[in-house]
Amino acid sequence: MPVRLRDVANRLGISTAAVCKALKGHKDISEATRQRVLECVRELNYQPNLLARGLSVGRSKAIGLVIPELMHSFFAEIAHGVTRQVQSKQYTLLLADSEENPEAERQAVELLLARRVDGLVIASAQSQNDLSLFEELQRREVPFVLLDRRYPAIKAPFVGIDNLTLGRLATEHLLKIGCRHVAHISCLSIATGPGRLEGYLHALEAHDGKANPRLIVDTTRAGTESVDVAAYQAMRQLLSSRPRPDGVFCFNDPIAVNAIKAALDVGLRVPQDVAVVGAGNVHYSDLLRVPLTTVDQSPAAMGAKAAEILLQLIESEGSLRPADIFIPLNLVERESTRRPRRICEREKGGSPARRSVRSGLSKAGGSGT
């Protein structure tokens, strides 16, 4: 039904080869026929069949993006960054959502490979213990870049943030505003979780050396329980422990938002009674009931960078081995940690060199509409 190369060739009384070359500006075709071809193509509204081309040349000009959860606006923004970059280079994006399920992710990757994508960007749901998926990809020499979630054992370019720094940044901030008992709601089942916990511990150690295990609670979900309720419960648990924390660093914004909810529900004030910081700088986090202090990770930039690197990787045909990229972090200070002026007593020991904190320009005022 659709018009083929042959159709325009026949109509012009020339060969398909000639048309093909004319179209890609091969210089061994006369300008005259080239013009005729171009005109005819326009006239018939010829569109090359990319399946056929892909089969023929062995490259599809398509890449796959595997995301653990598109509902999370963090990943939606990443996806946006990826699409922008990819579309600007005339590639097509194949999207798969693993819903945080490692097995679903495997199948999704399998399917994308069967479609002969030229490469993959993966924000993975695999556990750190099972790297077989990535090993398989390497064995097959499929170019791929790891996004957001890092697997140190895997030698593939990574684009994301340094979670240790993130955890430290957030925790130091809480300490700096005078919190004495800083808790952490973690999510160790996600690849970025342990690093943030570690950053939290580092900051505490550097400050006064003590980390109270009772002030760390994890939200790894047992079964189908939603993250929101897990977070809510985690906060309730923290708030009933003694000493009661006066500052909480949460693994991410959704958790932080639920933590705040939990605190308010039991009659505590945020930030006066307990300060909260999240991570991700989700849209509208400055318009929340209590505007949320959070660590911005520039997800769109992350996505764009990952795509850019993947495309380089593909076009360089393996001659390139790009370094990991760490997107700069940015602590955005808002109400949830804005303590009534109160000098921090006993600032013990020299605090370790802190990463520079860029001006916390709100993101929700930007393009998020």
Partner DNA sequence: TTGAAAGCGCTACCAG
Partner DNA sequence: CTGGTAGCGCTTTCAA
Residues that bind a second copy (CB under 8 A): 1-2, 47-52, 54-55, 60, 62, 65, 69-73, 76-77, 79-80, 83-84, 87, 90, 92-97, 99, 104, 108, 110-116, 140-141, 226-229, 252, 254-255, 257, 260-261, 282-285, 287-289, 291, 300, 364-369
Residue 366 Cβ, how far from a second copy at the closest point, in Å? 7
Tokens of 136: 């398989």
Q: Which residues contact 214 (CB under 8 A, 6 or more apart)?
A: 241
Nearer CB in complex with a second copy: 92/128: 92
Residue 16 contact partner, candidates a second copy, DNA, none, CB within 5 to 8 A by sort of partner:
DNA
Residue 71 contact partner, candidates a second copy, DNA, none, CB within 5 to 8 A by sort of partner:
a second copy
DSSP category for residue 52: H
Residue 361 contact partner, candidates DNA, a second copy, none, CB within 5 to 8 A by sort of partner:
none
Residue 365 contact partner, candidates DNA, a second copy, none, CB within 5 to 8 A by sort of partner:
a second copy
Rounded to whole angstroms, how far apart are CA atoms 262 and 257? 9
Q: Using CB under 7 A, which of 23, 113, 206, 268 touches DNA? A: 23
Tokens of 332: 């955005």
Residue 58 Cβ, how far from a second copy at the closest point, in Å? 9
Q: Which residues contact 110 (CB under 8 A, 6 or more apart)?
A: none
Nearer CB in complex with a second copy: 99/273: 99
Q: Are 283 and 364 in contact (CB under 8 A)?
A: yes
Nearer CB in complex with a second copy: 7/324: 7
Q: Are 204 and 171 in contact (CB under 8 A)?
A: yes
Residue 75 Cβ, how far from DNA at the closest point, in Å? 32
Rounded to whole angstroms, how far apart are CA atoms 206 and 350? 8
Q: Are 331 and 293 in contact (CB under 8 A)?
A: yes
Nearer CB in complex with DNA: 113/206: 113
Beta strand extents in 144-262 (DSSP E only): 144-147, 158-160, 182-186, 216-218, 247-250
Residue 365 Cβ, how far from a second copy at the closest point, in Å? 5
Report the site for DNA in 49-108 (rule: CB under 7 A).
Answer: 49, 52-53, 55-58
Alpha helix stretches (DSSP H) within 89-192: 102-114, 132-139, 163-176
Residue 140 binds DNA (CB under 7 A): no
Binding segment for DNA (CB under 7 A), chosen from 5-13, 62-70, 94-102, 118-126, is: 5-13
Listed as own residue / partner, the contacts of 2-5 with beta carbons closer than 8 Å and 24 or more positions apart are: 2/47, 2/49, 3/44, 3/45, 3/46, 3/47, 4/46, 4/49, 5/46, 5/48
Q: Using CB under 7 A, which of 6, 115, 269, 321 touches DNA? A: 6
Q: What number of chain residues touch DNA (CB under 7 A)?
A: 29
Residue 33 binds DNA (CB under 7 A): yes
Nearer CB in complex with a second copy: 104/206: 104
Q: Are 276 and 259 in contact (CB under 8 A)?
A: yes
Crossing angle between the packed helical segments 163-176 and 193-208, to the nearest 10 degrees: 40
Residue 30 binds DNA (CB under 7 A): yes
Crossing angle between the packed helical segments 299-315 and 73-88, to the nearest 10 degrees: 40
Residue 28 binds DNA (CB under 7 A): yes
Rounded to whole angstroms, how far apart are CA atoms 6 and 176? 72
Binding segment for DNA (CB under 7 A), chosen from 28-36, 60-68, 285-293, 347-355, is: 28-36
Residues found near DNA in the complex (CB under 7 A): 2, 4-6, 13-18, 20-21, 23-24, 27-30, 32-33, 46, 48-49, 52-53, 55-58
